[in-house]
Chains A and B, each alone.
Chain A
C-alpha cells in the first residue's frame, strides 16, 4: 500500500455548490460562537464571570467546518479554548453560559467552569484544562467505537502549542497501529500561549508530523474559510469512517484575542492582530462570499444576526437568573 501523503487542500469549492440552508447553518454557527465569546469577554471584564477564560474568536471556521461533518454519536475532545467546539457540536447556549457563570443549571452543575464543559449527550467528552490532555482520551473513545463495531468517529482538537506534547505522539502511534477512527484537528493559531509557534515548533506545517505515524495529513492554508475546512474534513472523515484508521487535519487560523482574557499580549503588535482581523476574519470572508454570489442579501444576514443576538441574550438572562450551587453539594458526584 502506498504511504499516506501530506497534502495542501486545494480550495476550489464554490459557494454555489451548497444549499442555502447549509450556508445559513455555517453562518449561524460561526455567529453563535462569535457573539457568545464577545459576551463572555465583556462579562468577564465586568467581573461577573470568575476564573480563567480563553476565547475562540477568529477561529470559528475550524470548529464549524469540522463539526458540520459529525453527528451527536461522534465524539470530540476539546481544549481550554473550548467554547467554540462545544457550540459547534450542538450544545445548549443557556446551559453553557450558566456553567461559565458557575451556576447550578450549568452542564457541570457549576463544578467545571469555562475550561471544563462537557456534554456527553451530544458527544462532547469534555474541554481539558491541561494542554494536550485530550489526545489519548479521544484515542480511547475511538478504540471503544471500534470495539463496539460502530461507524462513528472521534476527533481531538488541539493547537500548535499542544502539538509539542508527548501525549500527541503516543496517541498518534496508538491510533495508527490499531487503525482507530480518530481525526486529529490541529488549530494552528500561531501562538502557544504567549510563544510564537515557530520559535518552539520544529516544523512549519505541523501536519508533517502525521507522516511519521503513517496517516494522511491535510493542510488547509485558509483555515478561516469555513467551506475549505468543511470540505477537507469531509474527505478525511469519510476516509476514517471507511475503516482506514486515523487522519490529521491542520487548519491555519489566527488567535485574534490574547491567550486568556486579560493577557497584555506583549509578544505581538497591534498591527499584526488588526491585519488579521481586517483580511482574514472568518465571518467577514463568509459574508463577502455569499453576498457577492447573490445567495444572501444583506438584510437576510442582518436577520440571522438578530436571531443569534436574541439567543445570546436569552442565554445570558438564563445564566444570571440561575441559582448558584448550594455548599451542601460539595461532595456530590465525587464518587458514584
Chain B
C-alpha cells in the first residue's frame, strides 16, 4: 500500500493506461500546459507529449463529439470536462451520439470514451461550478457512470473505465482531489458496477457515494458513540449500480438512509429507494429516509451555501428519525 492523494491516484491510472495502450489520449481545456485546473494532469505532457495530452479550444461540443469520432476510428479518448457543470454544453454529443452509437448501429462499433467530470461543492464556487449531476446520466441507457470516493477507487475505476469498451462518465468530486488514501501497489482495477462496504453495521444502512461517503462516515462515528452500528455502502457506480449489495445490507439492518450531495428531487437516491421499495419492502422495519440538497441552485454567500449543503449532521439528524 502507498498513501497518496485522490489526484495522484488518477495520475497514476492515466500514466499506467497510456503506457499500456498507445491509442489512449487525453483532451480538454487547460490540461496540458496548465496541468488541469486541479493539477490532476500535471506532468503527463512531459511523459507523453502534447500530441497525446491535448489542450483544446473552449469547445465542449467539439471535445466530446470528436472523442466519439476518434473512438469510432480506433482511438480510446479520455475527455476532460473542466467542471461537470459544463457537460450541459455537449449534452447532445453525450446522450444522442456517444450513448447510442453502439446500440443504434446494431453493435457494429464500440465507443470507448471516458468523460472525466469534476463535480461538487468547493470554495463557494456558486451555481455553475458546484453541481452534482450524476442522476442525469443514470437515466441514459448505453452509458456507464462511476463516482469514486477515495484514492484507491479513483485509480481502480479510472483504469477500468479506460479499458471498458463502453462510454463511461467518471465523476470526481473536486473536494476529494487533495484527500489521501491507501492505494494498493501494482496493478489495481476496480470492477464497474460493484459497490464497496465502507463499514459494516447491523442497525442501519446508509447508501451513499463520492464525497458524501466521508460525511456519512462522520455521522456513523457519532451514531457509534451512542451504540448504533451503521453500515455504509459506497455505491461507486451509478450505472450499472449494485442493487444486490444494497438489498443484502437492508435485509440485514432493516433500515435505509440514502444520502447524496446532489439535489434530492429526482436524485439518484430516488432510484435506490424506489428499488428497495419494490424489491425489499419486507426487509424494512422503519420508513426510508433520503438526504440530498434542497431543490435550489447552489448559492454563493457563505450562510446560504451552509444552509444548502448536506453534511454529517444532516445525515445524523435524518437517520435519528427512523431509529
Contacts and interface: CB of A to CB of B under 8 A. Distances in A.
A136 interface: yes
Interface string A137-148: 111111111011
Interface in A68-120: 75, 77, 106-112, 116, 118-120
Interface in A170-223: 170-171, 173-174, 177
Most buried by A among B71, B104, B109: B104
Contacts of B77: 140
B66 A136 contact: yes
B107 A332 contact: yes
Nearest to B75: A144
Interface in A137-168: 137-145, 147-148, 154, 166-167
Contact of B59 (A128, A174, A333): A174
Contact of B66 (A106, A111, A137, A333): A137
Interface size class of A (residues with CB under 8 A): 35 or more
A65 interface: no
Contact of B106 (A107, A133, A147): A107
A136 B93 contact: yes
A135 interface: yes
A144 B73 contact: yes
B127 to A, nearest CB: 23
B195 to A, nearest CB: 19
B105 A335 contact: no
Nearest to A123: B73
A214 B64 CA distance: 23
B110 interface: yes
Nearest to B56: A174
Contact of B62 (A77, A109, A129, A174): A174
A71 B186 CA distance: 45
B225 interface: no
B25 interface: yes
Contacts of B66: 136-137, 139-140, 143, 171, 174
Interface string A311-336: 00000000000000000000011111
B106 A333 contact: yes
14 contacts: A111-B103, A118-B105, A120-B72, A120-B105, A135-B65, A137-B97, A144-B74, A148-B75, A167-B92, A170-B62, A171-B65, A174-B66, A335-B144, A336-B165
